[in-house]
Amino acid sequence: MAAAGPPPARALSAGSRRAPLALGLAPPRQGARVGASRLRQDNVHCHSRLISTNFNSRPSLCPPCHCAQMALADPVVSYQPDSDKHAGVLAYDLVQGNLVQWNSFMDKSIPDPPTAVLLHGILGSGKNWGSFAKRLAQEFPMWQFLLVDLRCHGESASIKKKGPHTVASTAFDVLKLISQLRLSPRVLVGHSFGGKVALSMVEQAAKPLPRPVRVWVLDSTPGKVRAGLDKEDHPAELIEFLRRMPVQVKSKKEVVDALIKGQFSLDVAQWVATNLRRSSPLGPRSSSSYSWIFDLNGISEMYKSYEDTNLWRIVENVPRGVHISFLKAERSLHRWALEDLQRIHTAEELAADEGGGVEMHMLEDAGHWVHADNPDGLFRILSSTFRIENTIRGARD
């Protein structure tokens, strides 16, 4: 059951970086927070952030992978007022191109702009997509991008949800959110766990999803989840390891050291530690403690559902007007079986005859954390979708 109060306001860093992680897209770098003093109007309550991308960009390097990326500066930030009907669904950010003049409180007769929903993986958050969404918004200034914190993750962890915590219930949360925001997304992009959530959204509801709708499933198959090799980090083992740790710890280093001792990689250990929040911010630093910002019990249930959920039926019987694109990372942590690839290629042929679409893409020089390992390659592949949608809308207009 959703909490009565609205989701907490979000504050993304203006200059964010991509760092590799095992289970979802990489979190942004810690930086200066945008405070309430940046508001242009007085007496406005914070609900969730609207980020306009009318600003300049500069190149930077992303340690530890040192990939070239776009660091974005000086976004114009505005806040939506509270609304009871929007309260307590999920926490989110809305990144808007500089040609978008819209919010969910406008006259209902005004159509919403083309919208894409970006979904993170297990143990991630919507912030993982922050800098990538800003880059998309700069390239496609008529679009807006909804970055969601899924249930039990990020700021949504404080919004209590009834179980079961499954792929299907997670997808229903997102459908409910976009319905209440009066959005009709044209594109859904989901990484790992988020990829199955996107497929489940298409399966569950014709509305509020329009037709056509384009779905991107990033490094995730519709069915069986096959674990990586013995020397690679296993998500289920990581989640259970974290559940056995104390609810509160004295420092982030304590968590990093424990994970390394538990045979997890340094990259994963450092990333996991970013999900700790100081429990006593006003006390002396020496007496401070840290606790997790996510619900590990709920996440454990969600990952089990990710392993068990089979959505081949939506892929092999694609509804008319739906186009599903799979992206396989060249060095994926998940094993893509030959039978998976063959089923996708067979579905591709069937969908073409039924007025839908299925495609398979390969992202070279990338592991499971696709937009950290090869952000430029991922950007080029995803950009084709927004160009196609712009062409379709232009033809209609």
CATH number at residue 357: 3.40.50.1820
The pLDDT of residue 372: 80
Q: Are residues 382 and 323 in the same domain?
A: yes
Out of 249, 280, 306, a domain closes at 306
Strands 290-292 and 276-278: antiparallel
Q: Are residues 81 and 130 in the same domain?
A: yes
Q: For the ranges 59-63, 134-138, 256-260, 372-376, which has the lowest average pLDDT?
A: 59-63
Q: Are residues 206 and 79 in the same domain?
A: yes
Q: Are residues 157 and 249 in the same domain?
A: no
Which residues lie closer than 8 Å to 134 by C-beta, 6 or more apart? Answer: 51, 53, 70, 72, 75, 95
Q: Cα(148)–Cα(204) distance, rounded to whole angstroms?
A: 18
The answer to whether residue 75 is domain-embedded is: yes
33 pLDDT tier (thresholds 50, 70, 90): very low
| β-bridge mates for residue 359, sequence order | 325
The answer to whether residue 203 is domain-embedded is: yes
Q: Cα(396)–Cα(76) distance, rounded to whole angstroms?
A: 31
What is the b/e burial string over 138-147, where b = at least 16 CB atoms within 10 angstroms of the residue's CB? bbbbbbbbbb
Q: Are residues 302 and 326 in the same domain?
A: no
Q: Cα(70)–Cα(245) distance, rounded to whole angstroms?
A: 37
| β-bridge mates for residue 276, sequence order | 292
The answer to whether residue 138 is domain-embedded is: yes
Which residues lie closer than 8 Å to 388 by C-beta, 6 or more apart? Answer: 214
Which residues lie closer than 8 Å to 158 by C-beta, 6 or more apart? Answer: 3, 8
Nearest CA to 103 out of 77, 125, 121 is that of 77
Q: Are residues 174 and 239 in the same domain?
A: no
Q: What is the CA radius of gyration of the chain?
A: 20
Q: φ and ψ at 178, to 5 degrees?
A: -70, -30
Report residue 130 as tokens. Answer: 């922050």
Residue 341 has pLDDT above 60, yes or no: yes
Q: Are residues 200 and 92 in the same domain?
A: yes
Q: For the ranges 148-157, 236-245, 309-318, 363-372, which has the lowest average pLDDT?
A: 363-372
The answer to whether residue 4 is domain-embedded is: no
More confident residue, 46 or 241: 241
The answer to whether residue 249 is domain-embedded is: yes
Out of 253, 272, 306, a domain closes at 306
The answer to whether residue 296 is domain-embedded is: yes
Domain total in the chain: 2
The answer to whether residue 30 is domain-embedded is: no
The answer to whether residue 130 is domain-embedded is: yes
**Residue-wise DSSP of 147-182:** EE--TTSGGGGGS---S---HHHHHHHHHHHHHHTT
Express each pLDDT in 349-393 by its tens digit. Answer: 888 766 679 999 999 998 888 878 899 999 999 998 998 877 665
Q: For the ranges 237-241, 248-252, 390-394, which has the lowest average pLDDT?
A: 390-394
Q: For the ranges 68-72, 186-190, 220-224, 268-272, which has the lowest average pLDDT?
A: 68-72
Structural domain for 151, as ranges: 36-226+310-396
Q: Cα(50)–Cα(43) distance, rounded to whole angstroms?
A: 17
Q: Peptide bond before 59: cis, by omega within 30 degrees of 0?
A: no
